């Protein structure tokens, strides 16, 4: 698997964990007072987010991407459904 494919998969996994937090575990925590799933998925999401950012920076350096491209991909990883926008617009292409 090449580096772009890995970056895309990490982005999708990270984005899905963010959606899981917002759409599933946050309602469980605040409506039904069940905090455990939020803690578990929150840790997984945080780990994947950090791994994604580190790998994104490595790919940026290796492929000589601009900081603008790096910043756009960072922003898209920070918003809900941003990973979908990244896939549709193919922001990761050279």
DSSP 31: T
What's the mean pLDDT in 74-87? 90
- Angle at Cα 47 formed by Cα 15 and Cα 57, nearest 5°? 75
- Residue 57 domain-assigned? yes
Give phi and psi for 92, each to the nearest 5: -85, -10
- Residue 94 domain-assigned? no
- Residue 78 domain-assigned? yes
- Residue 14 domain-assigned? yes
Give the span between the Cα atoms of 89 and 1, in whole angstroms.
Answer: 21
Task: Give tens-digit pLDDT for 17-50.
Answer: 999 999 999 999 999 999 999 999 999 999 999 9
Domains: count for the chain:
1
Q: Are 92 and 86 in contact (CB under 8 A)?
A: yes
- Residue 75 domain-assigned? yes
Mean pLDDT, the chain, as a whole number?
Answer: 93
Q: Which domain holds residue 20?
A: 3-88
Residues whose CB falls within 8 Å of the CB of residue 69, separated by 6 or more in sequence, listed in order: 60, 91
């Amino acid at each position: 698997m090449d580096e772009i494919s890995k970056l895309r998969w990490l982005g999708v996994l990270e984005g899905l964990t963010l959606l899981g937090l917002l759409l599933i575990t946050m309602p469980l925590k605040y409506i039904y007072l069940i905090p455990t799933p939020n803690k578990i998925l929150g840790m997984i999401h945080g780990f994947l987010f950090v791994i994604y950012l580190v790998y994104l920076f490595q790919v940026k350096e290796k492929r000589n991407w601009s900081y603008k491209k790096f910043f756009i991909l960072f922003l898209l990883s920070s918003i809900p459904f941003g990973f979908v926008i990244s896939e549709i617009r193919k922001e990761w292409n050279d």
